[in-house]
Amino acid sequence: AQSVTQLGSHVSVSEGALVLLRCNYSSSVPPYLFWYVQYPNQGLQLLLKYTSAATLVKGINGFEAEFKKSETSFHLTKPSAHMSDAAEYFCAVSGGGSTLGRLYFGRGTQLTVWP
Amino acid sequence: GAGVSQTPSNKVTEKGKYVELRCDPISGHTALYWYRQSLGQGPEFLIYFQGTGAADDSGLPNDRFFAVRPEGSVSTLKIQRTERGDSAVYLCASSLQPGQTSTGELFFGEGSRLTVL
């Protein structure tokens, strides 16, 4: 079975500060891991994904995440926050193969960016 | 259109009524998914179609929920005898066939917000 825990339902940072959104996963098979972003009144948009290739994954808008098997983590980071990064972020895991699209999402982290 | 289209964007209904929610996936995407997002929660899987058939419907909460995709494109999620607990945003997503040409990216629609009074 797969599950995801996102630590912190709300994160606030100042513009220009480091963004760190935490995600820990549980999976009985080698996981595929995803971060999605949801802007107000919009659909979920893929930020980045880990599919068993490089452990450091770069995504859109300057975000990246590192897969750490020993820590069962896939934390999302961005060196310098921008006002436009304010949104809700979801971490998700799937088991791959034929179940690739069945994602198990965390509860989400709302990111606020202060000027 | 270029993206996943869902209608209606908002639906308010009374307890006990029947509701249909429609999803038009990205052209050429054979896989279609329905998820449900309750307030303060992440999306929860409901059902997955590969072509016309439901490949995995284990996420449907009970037999009041049913979904079809008769021609392998548009899908309809049907909810009978709605209850207040069914209030949520229902998300549809599509992708290329998982495991082969796809690396798991789902393209989500903006959702249909269902409110049951």
- pLDDT tens-digit map of B5-46: 999 999 999 999 999 999 999 998 889 999 999 998 999 999
| DSSP annotation of B34 | E
Question: Angle CA(B31)–CA(B37)–CA(B38) in degrees, nearest 5?
Answer: 160
CA A60 vs CA A32, A84, A85, B39: distances in Å: 18, 13, 11, 27
Sign for the CA dihedral angle at A35, A37, A42, A46 comes to negative
Considering only the beta carbons, identify the residue of B48, B56, B111 that sits closest to A43. B111
Q: Look at residue A31 in the predicted model and tell me its pLDDT.
A: 86
Tokens of B61: 């909460």
pLDDT the model gives residue A2? 85
The per-residue pLDDT for range A21-77, each reduced to its tens digit, is: 999 999 887 888 999 999 988 889 999 999 877 889 999 999 999 999 999 999 999
Read off the pLDDT of residues B38-82 as tens digits, 9 standing for 90 and up. 998 999 999 999 889 898 899 999 999 999 999 999 999 999 999
Residue B96: predicted pLDDT: 81
Q: Which of B108, B24, B31, B9 is nearest to A36 (CA)?
A: B108
pLDDT at A15: 97
- Position A18 scores a pLDDT of 97
Q: CB A43 to CB B3 under 8 A?
A: yes
What local confidence, expressed as pLDDT, does residue A42 receive? 86
pLDDT in tens, B86-102: 999 999 999 886 554 45
With CB atoms and an 8 Å threshold, state whether A43 touches B33. Answer: no
Does A105 contact B43 at a Cβ distance shorter than 8 Å?
yes
Confidence of residue A101 (pLDDT cuts 50, 70, 90): confident
* Chain A residues with a Cβ under 8 Å from any Cβ in chain B: 4, 6, 9, 32, 34, 36, 41-46, 49, 51, 90, 92, 94, 96-108
- Verify whether the Cβ–Cβ distance A100 to B102 is below 8 Å: yes
| pLDDT at B117 exceeding the cut of 60 | yes
Residue of A27, A49, A98 best to disrupt the B interface, most CBs of B under 10 A: A98
To probe the interface with B, which of A102, A104, A107 has the most B CB atoms within 10 Å?
A102
State the pLDDT at residue B101: 47
